[in-house]
Amino acid sequence: MYQRRNELVFGFHGCDKKTCDEIVNSEKIQLHSSDNSYDWLGHGMCFGEYNAQRALEWAKYTKEHPQNGKQKIQEPAVQGAVICLGECLDFWNPAIFLC
């Protein structure tokens, strides 16, 4: 089911503006992965592929509904990243559902 993907993608993560600024302006920032029992895709960090607007919508939603997020959001913002996929499960590939 998993395949090696060597391409790079642009990912976007909704968070608080302070977090974005700390990541951009600091040489020693530590990102924290999620390891909650309800993380249905597994442990890690959620980045939306090629969709900065969706990440901003999530940050705005989390500001209004803080019980749904790990971080308290004062000012919704978006952090972008270039990600090398490596080993991944592609939900857009219909062949994986033929098992």
Residue 95 in this model has a pLDDT that exceeds 70: no
Q: What is the pLDDT of residues 24-64, one digit of tens each?
A: 888 766 677 777 777 777 777 788 888 999 999 999 999 99
C-alpha separations of 8 from 1, 57, 72, 87 in Å: 20, 24, 30, 12
The total number of structural domains in the chain stands at 1
Report the SS3 class of residue 78. strand
Residue 39 sits in which domain range? 3-98
